[in-house]
Amino acid sequence: MNFLPLLLQLVGGAIGGNAAGAVAKDSSLGTVGNTIAGALGGGLGMQVLGALIPALGGMAGNGSMDIGSILSGLVGGGVTGGIVQLIVGLIRRRMA
């Protein structure tokens, strides 16, 4: 099993989570919280999307590692990581 696509999605998610936390200060979880929420969202989000939408299977890591797969893993992980960080941050803010 090739873990590089998952690693790229985790890194992209962590970056996306921190970017979302920086843009939406009211939903920020702090640097560590943004990183964890983003990484989980990036890794798990892309795996779930790849299973639900077969056309995204290349982004979920089908084994081929060309520049398109690398960029789609980073960007897709960043987007899903940012979305998850925003959702978790808003839920946390509503509960406080």
Would residue 16 count as lying in a domain?
A: yes
Return the number of other C-beta atoms located less than 10 Å from residue 93's C-beta. Answer: 12
- pTM, two decimals, is 0.86
61-75 in b/e form (b: 16+ CB < 10 A) is beeeeeeebeebbbb
Would residue 15 count as lying in a domain?
A: yes
Cα separation, 75 vs 94, in Å, equals 29
pLDDT given at position 47: 84
Above 70 in pLDDT, residue 11? yes
Give burial (CB, 10 Å; 0-12/13-18/19+) of 30: exposed
Would residue 96 count as lying in a domain?
A: no
Report how many domains make up the chain. 1
Would residue 45 count as lying in a domain?
A: yes
Domain span at 28: 4-91
Percent with pLDDT over 90 in the chain: 61
pLDDT given at position 41: 95
Would residue 43 count as lying in a domain?
A: yes
